[in-house]
Amino acid sequence: MNILLIDDDPSYCNQFQSRMSPFCEVQPLNEISEPIESLTRELVMSADAILIDLKMPGIDGITLYKRFREIENNIPPVLILTEYES
């Protein structure tokens, strides 16, 4: 299984990747200023699942998901995540 992880927090991406590496391949994408321009159709479609952070600079996860759907209607399953600290 190949997971595309889109999150602006490099430490979260590294932690997620190290925890999931025994089970699947994780492709983190975190050092991007404009996520939609950095993502090619091939990158998105090569994933079995996509995890997107809800709050990122420049674009939120829901808007990014909608843009994916504009580019390709049949995208892999998408989970939109967020981290909440109280």
Where along the chain do its domains lie?
A: 2-81
pLDDT given at position 57: 83
At 18, which amino acid appears?
A: S
Instruction: Compute CA 38 distance to the chain's CA centroid, rounded to the nearest angstrom.
Output: 12
Could you list the pLDDT tens digit for every one of the 86 residues in the chain?
999 999 988 898 999 999 999 999 998 887 555 556 556 777 888 899 999 999 988 888 999 888 888 878 888 999 999 887 76
Cα angle 20-32-44, degrees, rounded to a multiple of 5: 60
The CATH architecture annotation of domain 2-81 reads: 3-Layer(aba) Sandwich (3.40)
- The neighbouring-strand residues paired with 27 are 4
Rounded Cα distance between 43 and 31, Å, is 15
